[in-house]
């Protein structure tokens, strides 16, 4: 029976979902959302914070600051609350309302960047704000998930060995690409392993991580509006780009089978099943990394109004029904008079303009 006193010390490492009954392809999904931060970002956050503590960069007087569109911000908020640090997360309008509320509930301050850049993103503005803040007050400590090698080392030391122990005959690994910390850590580990493993990076259409033109991206988590500084493409065998509408459809298909996953996981699973459908996968051992769970996406990818405004009424297949669609059904009269018209349940500020980084 696990008993913890510090929330960042617990993470379920050995939970996998067999996706073959749902998608018809041999694929195991490593579920990384079963910790108190709710995502794989807990590993990188813990590694970066503890390294800064060991190096004397982070002291009791320090104020942590980081640019994040969501999951890392929640992980750092939890760690900061547990260790007694103050934390400021610099984010933008693309982030989920639930995620911002979680950070604030944990005692963190959230600063929203409003100005959109020429490439349709916010990442550069977020980073410039953090830099200016650090220059103005030396109490601020920026861990910089985009350049910090402890980001990828967390997955080299933990995530990849966890997979290797469970799947010693692994053939192909699908990893989502945001900052590319998870991708680079796993790819480096398996490059040194006893057998070759094909590393497939899964990116969002509109991301420029692997080149190409920037485009609108509304689902936070994967993708970047600049080349990730941690990325070394020599470790990547192939890149798959997934349309956001396909991410949405995959998330809803999983939900119809009782698995409520987040947007990053939906993107990875969509890319992985597409790749497996195009290859002879009968004898392959394939694993995909699912970074997050779905609760913090209830007001976005699982909300009918949000989906239809952004992707049109046909975004879901006929057998898939979005959470919140019941609001469109006529309601019986109440004792106080006729039923009110269904309200637009989108939180203030959503949908927002497209955004870049993680």
Question: Could you write out the DSSP letters of every residue in 85-140?
Answer: -EEEEEEETTS-HHHHHHHHHTT-EEEEE-PPPTTS--HHHHHHHHHHHHHH-TTE
> Concatenated DSSP letters for 19-68?
-HHHHSS--EEEE---BTTSBTHHHHHHHHHHHHHHTT-S-TT-EEEEE-
Q: What is the arithmetic mean of pLDDT over 233-246?
A: 97
The per-residue pLDDT for 205 is: 95
* Predicted confidence band of residue 337 (pLDDT cuts 50, 70, 90): very low
Q: For residue range 32-42, list pLDDT tens digits in order.
A: 999 999 999 99
The per-residue pLDDT for 332 is: 40
* Predicted confidence band of residue 355 (pLDDT cuts 50, 70, 90): very low
Pairing type for strands 172-176 and 286-290 reads parallel
Window from 26-30, 182-186, 346-350 with minimum mean pLDDT:
346-350
Please state the pTM of the whole predicted model: 0.87
Q: Please give the helix or strand (H or E) that residue 175 lies within, else none.
A: strand 172-176
Q: For residue range 158-177, list pLDDT tens digits in order.
A: 999 999 999 999 999 999 99
Residues linked to residue 90 through DSSP beta bridges, in sequence order: 67, 111
* Predicted confidence band of residue 195 (pLDDT cuts 50, 70, 90): very high
The per-residue pLDDT for 120 is: 53
What is the distance between the alpha carbons of residues 302 and 323, in angstroms, rounded to a whole number?
5
pLDDT at 341 over 60: no
The per-residue pLDDT for 70 is: 87
Which of left, alpha, beta for 336 (phi over 0: left; psi -120 to 50: alpha)?
alpha
The per-residue pLDDT for 291 is: 97
The per-residue pLDDT for 162 is: 98
Q: What is the arithmetic mean of pLDDT over 104-109?
A: 97
The per-residue pLDDT for 116 is: 62
What is the distance between the alpha carbons of residues 126 and 67, in angstroms, rounded to a whole number?
6
pLDDT at 46 over 50: yes
Average model confidence (pLDDT) for the chain? 88
CA nearest neighbour of 208 among 168, 181, 171, 239: 239
Q: For residue range 248-292, list pLDDT tens digits in order.
A: 999 999 999 999 999 999 999 999 999 999 998 889 999 999 999
Longest CA span, the chain? 71
Contact 204, 354 (CB under 8 A): no
């Amino acid at each position: 029976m696990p008993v913890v006193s510090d929330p960042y010390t617990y993470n379920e490492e050995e939970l996998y979902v067999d996706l073959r009954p749902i998608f018809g392809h041999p694929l195991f999904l490593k579920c990384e959302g079963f910790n108190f931060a709710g995502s794989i970002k807990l590993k990188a956050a813990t590694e970066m914070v503890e390294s800064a503590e060991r190096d004397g960069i982070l002291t009791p007087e320090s104020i942590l600051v980081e640019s994040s569109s969501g999951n890392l911000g929640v992980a750092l908020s939890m760690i900061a609350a547990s260790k007694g640090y103050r934390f400021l997360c610099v984010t933008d309008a693309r982030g989920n309302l639930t995620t911002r509320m979680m950070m604030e509930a944990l005692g963190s301050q959230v600063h929203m960047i409003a100005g959109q850049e020429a490439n349709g993103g916010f990442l550069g503005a977020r980073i410039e704000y953090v830099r200016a803040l650090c220059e103005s007050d030396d109490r601020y400590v920026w861990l910089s998930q985009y350049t910090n090698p402890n980001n990828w080392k967390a997955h080299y030391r933990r995530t990849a060995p966890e997979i290797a122990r469970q799947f010693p005959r692994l053939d192909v690994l699908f990893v989502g690409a945001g900052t590319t910390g998870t991708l680079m850590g796993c790819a480096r580990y398996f490059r040194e392993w006893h057998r070759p493993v094909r590393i497939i990076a899964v990116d969002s259409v509109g991301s420029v991580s692997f080149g190409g033109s920037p485009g609108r991206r509304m689902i936070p988590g994967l993708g970047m509006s600049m080349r990730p500084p941690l990325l070394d493409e020599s470790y990547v065998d192939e890149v798959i780009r997934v349309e956001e509408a396909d991410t949405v459809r995959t998330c809803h298909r999983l939900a119809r089978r009782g698995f409520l996953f987040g947007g990053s996981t939906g993107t990875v699973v969509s890319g992985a099943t597409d790749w497996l459908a195009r290859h002879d996968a009968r004898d392959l051992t394939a694993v995909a990394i699912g970074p997050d769970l779905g609760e913090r996406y209830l007001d976005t990818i699982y909300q009918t109004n949000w989906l239809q405004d952004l992707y049109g009424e046909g975004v879901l297949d006929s057998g898939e029904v979005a959470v919140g669609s019941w609001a469109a059904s006529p309601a019986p009269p109440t004792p106080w008079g006729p039923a009110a018209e269904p309200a637009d349940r989108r939180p203030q500020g959503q949908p927002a303009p497209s955004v870049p980084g993680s």
